[in-house]
Structure formats: structure tokens, C-alpha cells
Amino acid sequence: MSKNIALSVLDQSIAVAGSEESQAIRDTIAMAQLCENLGYTRFWVSEHHNHASIVGTAPEILIAAMAAVTSRIRLGSAGVMLPHYSALHVAEQFRVLDAIAPGRIDLGVGRAPGSDGHTARALNPHGDFGESFPAQTRDLMAWANGLALPDGHPFGRIAAHPRAATGPDIWMLGSSDYGAQLAAYLGLPYAFAHFITDGRGAARALGLYRDSFQPSPLLDRPKATLCVWALAAETEEEARHLFRSRARWKLDRNRGLMKQIEAPDAIAFTPEEEAEVQAMWQIALAGSASQVADKLRILALDMQLDELVVLTWMHDQEARRNSYRLLAKEFGLTGAATPAY
């Protein structure tokens, strides 16, 4: 329990009831500044499309905006949904980002569409819906880091610019065995989306990744993390109240409804739903700051991790900021610390 754990942040630019969606983007930029000052290691943003709850549609633009107002924290995507784009285009975007913020850009990629199938077709009518994802990732690794493409590659003489002494760190994202196995085969760092599965499959995926890891020019040994949903408050009672927003959203999502995040005071549950909410609470990484810190330390110890990425959804933005403040204090983070690579 005394093991030092680095903490990072995943921010999804959530839309909250009573506020314009555009405010969510500005809140993300402000949160990056706060988390740098608090001493978090990384700040990642996601990519979703046609989504009423998550309005961060262009992570590369958000990263550029955050780079302009930060100086130390690593910034990245979690992730770019690579099947929507060409690998060269993404490599060029992130080479530009690395020129803006040298040595502190992370390029997390995923195979999922970040949307429904119909929206995915609108984004890329000629896409193969992930079938070429392994080859795309291989090409991205080369272009983003100035490495040679395989012999006979049709675009082998093309380079991604601007070139520099540094380059983005590429991460593989996933919530199943597929991403873990591909990350291991390609020799990439791996981030498991614990918040999507409520932890189901995490231990197996990390085990597969570590057992089958093959070193690459970018990484010589396994490097993994979990992206977890967590909520810390001054008291457990306050955390339970704030948790109602997350619980309402999950109940609605499970019924096929995507909505903005509602204020906890405006939420009512049926008796049947109250039982479901209680079951959610029992497995949630939520509570007072010390309770959540203990849960995160145990999770990191069980999963043999030295870093966790924390995602927090709340309607009240100040309560969300305070959750990150409380965790930073519990883990002894300091804004003067140099980000870990």
C-alpha cells in the first residue's frame, strides 16, 4: 500500500444539462491547466461522434489548445479512432503537435468507431471498419517516429513532417483481449478501458499483454495502465449524492438512451432503479478521498501498475475539479514534478 503511484487524467468533454455543449470544450482546457498545477502526469482526451453525452469530437485540436496553456504535463488522445483516417494524416497531425509541445505528446489509438455504425460510415464512407487496423497502426508507428516502413510498402518513400528529435508516444487502447494482444505484438504501451467494463476482463487483458509482449524500436518492455472512473468527495455521503448523475446516465444508456449529464438534485429513481444504483455503488471507485485513494492503491497493486488514469463525470464542474484536487493531495502529487515518460 506504500507503493508510489502516478496519476493521470482522461477527460471526455462531457455535456451537462443546463450548459451549452461548447462549454464542455472550454472546461476540458481549463481542467488540463488545473491538473498540470496539481502534478498529474498525463492529460488525455477522447474522440466520440454523434454522442449526446460526450462532445469531444476532435482530440488533436483540443491537444493543441491545451498545449498552448500548459508547459509540463503530457497531453494526448485516448484515443484517436484510427479506422476513420489515414495513418499518414494522423502521423502528420501528431508530428505537428509534438513540434508545438516537444516531448510531451501521447498518441493513443483505438479500433472502435467512437460512434454508431451509421455515423462511422458518414465519417469514412470508404472505411473497412477496422479490418486493416493492425497494418494502419504499424504504418502510424513508422510515420510518427521516422522509422522505415516494411520493404515493398507502396508508400515507403513518403515521410511525415515536421521531423524533430522527439516524437509522440503511441499507446494502444482497448477494452478486450484484441487490443492487448495487438499492443504486445507491435511492442506498444497498452491502456485498458476499465471504466467501460467496470473492470471485467482487465486482469486477463493485462496478463495477455505482458506474457506475449515483443520489444519494438519504440518500447523494450511492457508498459501498461488502466483508465478508471473514480469520484472523490469530502465525505462518502457527498460522493453518494454526486454519484447519482453517473448512475442515472448508466441506467439510461443501458436502455439505449444517450443524454446530457443531469444534476443529482433533479434525479429520481424508481424502487427497482434504486436497487441497481446500489449495486453500481458497491463496485464504484467512489467515496471520500481516503476511501477512493485506498481503492485505487489496491487496484494498482493487484494489477501490478505504477500509474492509473482517472476519469471523473459529474454535473457540477467545481465538484469534479475538487475530486481531482482531493486525489492529488491523497497521492502526494506536486505541480513542481517533472512528468514521467
Q: Which residue has the cell 424508481?
A: 270
Q: Supply φ then ψ for residue 78, to 5 degrees.
A: -145, 70
* DSSP strands (E only) in the chain: 6-11, 42-45, 74-81, 105-110, 169-174, 190-192, 224-233, 285-288, 307-311
Instruction: Enter the pTM of the model.
Output: 0.94
User: In angstroms, what is the C-alpha Rg of the chain?
Assistant: 20
**DSSP, res 83:** G
HSE (side-chain half, CA atoms, 13 Å) at 58:
8
Helix (H, G, I), strand (E, B) or coil at 309: strand
HSE (side-chain half, CA atoms, 13 Å) at 5:
30
The residue length of the chain stands at 341
Q: Supply φ then ψ for residue 136, to 5 degrees.
A: -60, -45
- Packing angle between helix 21-38 and helix 59-67, nearest 10 degrees? 50
Distance of alpha carbon 333 from alpha carbon 259, whole angstroms = 34
Specify the pLDDT at position 87. 96
Hey, what's the cell of 112? 472502435
One digit per residue, the tens of pLDDT, for the chain of length 341 reads: 446 899 999 999 999 999 999 999 999 999 999 999 999 999 999 999 999 999 999 999 999 999 999 999 999 999 899 999 999 999 999 999 999 999 999 999 999 766 677 888 888 887 776 689 999 999 999 999 999 999 999 999 999 999 999 999 999 999 999 999 999 999 999 999 999 999 999 999 999 999 999 999 999 999 999 999 999 999 999 999 999 999 999 999 999 898 999 999 999 999 999 999 999 999 999 999 999 999 999 999 999 999 999 999 999 999 999 999 999 999 999 864 444 43
Q: Residue 51: what residue type? A: H
Specify the pLDDT at position 110. 93
Distance of alpha carbon 76 from alpha carbon 120, whole angstroms = 22
Q: Which residue has the cell 496519476?
A: 7
Domains delineated in the chain: 6-241+286-330 (3.20.20.30)
Specify the pLDDT at position 232. 98
Specify the pLDDT at position 114. 60
